[in-house]
Amino acid sequence: MLGFLIRRLLNYLVLCVVATFLSFTLSSIAFDPLSLLRQHNPPPPAATIEAKRVQLHLDQPIPQRFLTWGEGVLRGDFGQTTTDHAITEELGRRAGVSLRLFLLGVTVGILLGVLVGVASAVRQYKFTDYAATFFSYVVLATPVFVLGPLVKQVAQSINTATGSEWLQFTGEGPNDLSQLGWLEGFGERLRYLIVPTVTIALIQIAYYSRYQRSAMLDVLGSDFLRTAQAKGLTRRRAFFKHGLRTALIPMATLFAFGFGLVIVGGVFTESIFNWQGMGQWLIQGINDQDTNITATVTLFVAVCVLVSGWLSDVLYALLDPRIRV
Amino acid sequence: MSGPVTENDTPVLEVTDLAVSFPSEAGTVQAVRGLSYRVGRGEVLGIAGESGSGKSVSSLAVMGLLPPQARITGSIRFQGQQLLGLSDVQLAKIRGRRVAMVFQDPLSALTPVYTVGDQIAEALLVHGKGRISRQAAANRAVELLDLVGIPHAAQRAKAFPHEFSGGMRQRAVIAMAIANDPDLIIADEPTTALDVTVQAQVLEVLKTAQEVTGAGIVIITHDLGVVAGFADRLMVMYAGRAVETGQVAEVYQQPRMPYTLGLLGSLPRLDATEKLPLVPINGQPPSLVDLPEGCPFAPRCPMAVDACLEAEPELSAVDSAGEHHAACVRTAELAATEAAAEEIEGVDASNAAAIEAAVEVFGAEVVQAQARDLAPREQRPTVLRVDELVKHYPLNKGTVFKRRVGTVHAVDGVSFEIREGETLGLVGESGCGKTTTLMEVLGLTPPSGGAIEVLGRDVSTLDKKARRAVRRDMQVVFQDPMASLDPRMPIGDVLAEPMQVHGLDAEHIRKRIPQLLDLVGLRAEHADRYPAEFSGGQRQRIGIARALALEPKLLVLDEPVSALDVSIQAGVINLLDQLKVELGLSYLFVAHDLSVVRHIADRVAVMYLGRIVEIGTVDTVFGNPLHPYTQALLSAIPLPDPVKERQRERIILSGDLPSPADPPSGCRFRTRCFLHTTLPESDRARCVGEQPERVGHGQDHEVACHFARSKQVV
């Protein structure tokens, strides 16, 4: 079991390197960081441009540049931006911002999604099921840049109705909470988190509830559920103890994909709510023609996706004794 | 036992006028209609019938396990208590404690994510809250596993269901059922999904379970052999109703309803010394959505008269004691036919007379296997020769760096030959390698060991074109008629496809399709219909027609009738018999049902763990089996004759088939062999050390056993 997980982890490390290399290569070929410099008026002297070129290692072949950058990454140095800022400094803050948003949204989404899916399967073709199905399809069919503003609108109405400004939907809130107490700090974070989290969670609920519903329906028709009832378990108890537990197994696989999708789609979510997270950074990196930022964000996304993949392997092994070999 | 003291004459279960219906798109399905029966204390009631007869639905109704959309009326009294109308919570207190159930498919009956021991302990804990500790329940679960014959029960209790074989899982389900010492056990086709040798083990366990608990048992089955030996009384169901009930011996000897008679006659018999005709029951069971007035069996009944179509006959007593009931207006005539048959057959305890009557009533005939003038076997050409065939599968581990960790010896030196116009039956338990052998033959690729010769051509010498030509002469019929036809293709296209592939011209194909349909007993206009419009039996006929499209010389039949109901099965077997004679075909017939093989085959090869252990003509192998495995296999098959069945001594093999990845040394059967254990030490060493080769024992009979000896088993 442990060996299996370690082997998986090693496979994932290789994948991380490959993903980052591809992204690094692609952006190195496409970007021309010196163009900004050249557009300066008056044009800088050729020596300045040449110095910048050497500073950005543009005189070296791409694999060489990747190795140099990768070596830095191993030492915890992600390099400089084209505007001479240390990426490492900003990475921590931005990663914190993004993870805070996504982890909460995804966790809430999965838990509620599973519940909605189960309710929908148990009450198949009844009102609950139809309502859940309708909700899911509407949410899945709505692009996030429409859904986000809609949620904002609802939050605005709530604020108006209660006559307060408690719900915030622009930015991630103050960076420095050191002068606030523990509880106030938590409350302050929450004010800014609620609205974007609801947006992400809604999509996650819609997504997971569909799968959970069909997994649960499969299980509801199964023989072992009938055996459990024949033993003397009530219908409800058999559903939850034998049915839900088994129907959760396929969800473990989805978890990896689902989380990956959220991170990738995070670019939109962060822009809508004006969060200074990784997604927004990626856009900035592309605008600045900055290979190091792009590669760093790619590495971050790859690590997140692969960690969630690894987590779903762990979950899978916990849920299903058949693969614990 | 605690609980209220019941009068001795209060039945454990009394079902009165039970009706179950389901809404469906086509209309209301009346699955059970006016069913009444009772089960006494410690009594075993067999319920027999074909699929769709309502036998399972009626038992699920007793358990309260039907889906919520089912409408149930009537009365179900368990020890005097009305079960119908109880809430799920009230029923849950009875289920598993006083009424237990064993289901058909042991592979899916256990929750995959909990250990077997936990699942058995759960049955105890759910009913004994506060009275039994977790530890005590776990210990009791181990005891129960031991009781149902699981070796190393304490260890195995910690295993998950997927680590158990089918037979072991069914034992675990039985352990669960008897955990709370119930008063009634309902077993729904408990052995249908199992191999015969395992079936015999499980039936034995059920008998033990009954002795231990003293429970009444309702055993539901489509196999009249299983009930013959086990049940006290029998109820035959058709179209949602009981059509005949009575003491087992009486129903088998004097069936008073043509349907029961037909069912008995449609079974191929293992104990037949000459080839008896198989009674096919024409037509299909009626749709339960809109049943016609009158007797539902009338459209298929050879004895039907106008009175049968007017009103559905009630179940009424046909003997003076009032124990034997049948729902038929012509029971008196049936009795007369049987009496006449008895005069010919002579009155004895067996049910030969009833079979004779069935043959007469249904007008069945023996399909003459020798209608064509066939030369003696040795002079006929060989159509298929398999010589020392070997097929090993590597067992690999790892995804990136694959390494071989073992070998599955699926087929390990199999030799046989089939001559023109001959049927070879290949039999054995699942996992013995019979399907692998068949796939190797069909593949027409050079085998990993040994040689295959089809119509005199060694397959290893074939190039692509020659292989295609050989394929034309060798066709296959698959097991599952539901899955083997493309649902999006009309039957005409299904039949035309092989001919198009082999480049026959359109005109020929157009003419050939009606011929083919006619050949298998279907009508030419069926060509435009889709597979979904046909029943299982008809689809298998289509499968046979497809195989015959190219006029092959050899048909490979992979369990062609095992998915069909008995009454339908008889018709397909008769068809195969007839086609063989008319078209001069040769068959390689793979089956696990030895009765069917005895009926249809000329020669039989018994396989065990990748090797043939006994081969010869059906009469010698079945009449005088010499290999202990063949003897055990034959002895495990229940006979549909209560008197004979109860007199037989049964050889129960212990355990399951060993893994083909690690076969025992020497004789592969020795680990389960009953003979081996009785041998002196020196002889036993020979079984362990030396693999027995096939040795001739008289005319066309070879046995691979060092100590082959005769034993009466049927």
**Domain range enclosing B255:** 247-283+299-366
Query: Contact A231/B400, CB-based, under 8 Å?
Result: no
A226, A321, A322 member nearest B65 (Cβ): A226
Same domain, B256 and B230: no
Same domain, B62 and B156: yes
Same domain, B216 and B352: no
Query: Contact A224/B111, CB-based, under 8 Å?
Result: yes
- Pairwise pLDDT comparison (B173 vs A221), residue with the higher score: B173
Q: Answer whether residue B349 is part of any domain.
A: yes
Q: Quick check: B672 contacting A, CB < 8 Å?
A: no
Mean pLDDT for chain A overall: 87
Instruction: Name the pLDDT band for B556 (thresholds 50, 70, 90).
Output: very high
- Pairwise pLDDT comparison (B341 vs B487), residue with the higher score: B487
Q: Quick check: A230 contacting B, CB < 8 Å?
A: yes
Instruction: Name the pLDDT band for A225 (thresholds 50, 70, 90).
Output: very high
Same domain, B344 and B434: no
Q: DSSP 3-state assignment of B24?
A: strand
Q: Which of B95, B113, B184, B403 to mutate to test the interface with A (most CBs of A within 10 A)?
A: B113
Q: For residue range B510-543, what is the model confidence (pLDDT) as tens digits?
A: 999 999 999 998 888 889 999 988 888 899 999 9
Instruction: Name the pLDDT band for B372 (thresholds 50, 70, 90).
Output: low
Place of tokens 């048992």: B217
B275-300 mean pLDDT: 84
Q: Quick check: A321 contacting B, CB < 8 Å?
A: yes
Chain B's closest residue to A234, CA to CA, is B92
Q: Answer whether residue B128 is part of any domain.
A: yes
- Pairwise pLDDT comparison (B130 vs A72), residue with the higher score: A72
**The predicted structure's pLDDT at residue B167:** 86
CB atoms within 10 A of CB A42: 5
Q: Which of B63, B97, B111, B120 to mutate to test the interface with A (most CBs of A within 10 A)?
A: B111
Residue B312, sorted as left (phi over 0), alpha (psi -120 to 50) or beta, turns out to be: beta
Domain ranges for chain A: 2-34+99-324
**Residue A33 Cα, gap to closest chain B Cα (Å):** 40
A95-103 mean pLDDT: 88
CA distances from B439 to B41, B430, B459, B556, B557 (A): 51, 15, 13, 10, 11
Same domain, B356 and B388: no
C-alpha torsion angle, residues A147, A148, A152, A158 (rounded to 10): 50
- Of the candidates B614, B647, B681, which is a domain's last residue? B614
Class of domain A2-34+99-324 as given by CATH: mainly alpha
Q: Quick check: B510 contacting A, CB < 8 Å?
A: no
Query: Contact A233/B126, CB-based, under 8 Å?
Result: yes
**Residue B67 Cα, gap to closest chain A Cα (Å):** 10
Q: Answer whether residue B708 is part of any domain.
A: no
Same domain, B468 and B327: no
- Total domain count, chain B: 3
CB atoms within 10 A of CB B663: 21
B366-395 mean pLDDT: 79
- Name beta bridge partners: A138: none
Instruction: Name the pLDDT band for B608 (thresholds 50, 70, 90).
Output: very high
The residues, ordered by sequence, that sit 6+ positions from B630 with a Cβ below 8 Å of its Cβ are B606, B613, B614, B621
Query: Whole-angstrom Cα distance, residue B56 to residue B103?
Result: 10
Same domain, B463 and B605: yes
**The predicted structure's pLDDT at residue B509:** 93
B331-359 mean pLDDT: 73
Least confident of A35-39, A142-146, B23-27, B398-402: B398-402
Same domain, B405 and B547: yes
Phi, psi of B341 (to 5 degrees): -65, -35
Same domain, B77 and B223: yes
Q: For residue range B94-149, what is the model confidence (pLDDT) as tens digits?
A: 999 999 999 988 889 999 999 999 999 999 999 987 789 999 999 999 999 998 88
**Residue B197 Cα, gap to closest chain A Cα (Å):** 24
pLDDT(B3) > 80: no
A11, A234, A321 member nearest B92 (Cβ): A234
Residues of chain A with Cβ-Cβ distance to B65 below 8 Å are 226, 229-230
Residues of chain A with Cβ-Cβ distance to B105 below 8 Å are 223
Question: What is the β-pairing status of strands B474-477 and B316-317?
Answer: unpaired
Query: Contact A232/B173, CB-based, under 8 Å?
Result: no
Least confident of A67-81, B1-15, B71-85, B472-486: B1-15
- Of the candidates B328, B346, B366, which is a domain's last residue? B366
Q: For residue range A163-222, what is the model confidence (pLDDT) as tens digits?
A: 888 888 888 777 776 777 778 888 888 888 899 999 999 999 999 999 999 999 999 889
pLDDT(B2) > 50: no
B96, B112, B400 member nearest A231 (Cβ): B96
Q: How many CA atoms lie within 13 A of B455 on its CB side?
A: 17
Cβ atoms of residues A160 and A177 within 8 Å: no
Q: Quick check: B93 contacting A, CB < 8 Å?
A: yes
Same domain, B277 and B385: no
pLDDT(B648) > 90: no
Residues of chain A with Cβ-Cβ distance to B111 below 8 Å are 224-225, 227-228, 242, 245-246
Residues of chain B with Cβ-Cβ distance to A228 below 8 Å are 111, 122
A58-71 mean pLDDT: 89
Cβ atoms of residues A266 and A106 within 8 Å: no
pLDDT(B5) > 70: no
Same domain, B352 and B383: no
Q: SS in 3 state form for B595-651?
A: HHHHHHCCEEEEEECCEEEEEEEHHHHHHCCCCHHHHHHHHHCCCCCHHHHHHCCCC
Mean pLDDT for chain B overall: 88
Same domain, B259 and B168: no
**The predicted structure's pLDDT at residue A60:** 87
pLDDT(B6) > 60: no
- Of the candidates B319, B338, B366, which is a domain's last residue? B366
Residues of chain A with Cβ-Cβ distance to B177 below 8 Å are 230
> For residue B174, which of B92, B88, B109, B226 has the smallest C-alpha distance?
B109
CATH of the domain at B572: 3.40.50.300
Chain B's closest residue to A11, CA to CA, is B400
Query: Whole-angstrom Cα distance, residue B704 to residue B612?
Result: 8
Angle between helices A144-162 and A249-273 (to 10 degrees): 70
Q: DSSP 3-state assignment of A12?
A: helix
**The predicted structure's pLDDT at residue B7:** 46
Residues of chain B with Cβ-Cβ distance to A9 below 8 Å are none
A30-45 mean pLDDT: 81
**Residue B22 Cα, gap to closest chain A Cα (Å):** 16
Contacts of A57-62 with C-beta under 8 Å, sequence gap 24+, read A58/A33, A58/A34, A62/A24, A62/A25, A62/A28, A62/A29
Provide, rounded to the nearest whole percent, the portion of chain A with pLDDT above 90: 32
Residues of chain B with Cβ-Cβ distance to A239 below 8 Å are none
Cβ atoms of residues B393 and B382 within 8 Å: no
List, as ranges, residues 453-482 from B with C-beta within 8 Å of A: none
Question: What is the β-pairing status of strands B474-477 and B554-558?
Answer: parallel
Q: Answer whether residue B91 is part of any domain.
A: yes
The whole-angstrom distance between residue B275's C-alpha and the CA centroid of its chain comes to 21
pLDDT(B369) > 80: no
- Pairwise pLDDT comparison (B710 vs B713), residue with the higher score: B710
Q: Answer whether residue B4 is part of any domain.
A: no
B92, B111, B127 member nearest A242 (Cβ): B111
Q: Verify cis geometry, omega within 30 degrees of 0, for the bond prior to A42.
A: yes
Instruction: Name the pLDDT band for B347 (thresholds 50, 70, 90).
Output: low
**The predicted structure's pLDDT at residue B4:** 41
Query: Contact B105/A249, CB-based, under 8 Å?
Result: no
Q: Answer whether residue B511 is part of any domain.
A: yes
B103, B105, B127 member nearest A232 (Cβ): B127
Query: Whole-angstrom Cα distance, residue B491 to residue B517?
Result: 9
B624-636 mean pLDDT: 92
pLDDT(B596) > 60: yes
Query: Whole-angstrom Cα distance, residue B262 to residue B299?
Result: 14
pLDDT(B166) > 90: no
B575-604 mean pLDDT: 91
**The predicted structure's pLDDT at residue B658:** 87
Q: SS in 3 state form for B490-525?
A: CHHHHHHHHHHHCCCCHHHHHHHHHHHHHHCCCCHH
Q: Answer whether residue B88 is part of any domain.
A: yes
Instruction: Name the pLDDT band for B396 (thresholds 50, 70, 90).
Output: confident
State the ipTM, two decimals: 0.81
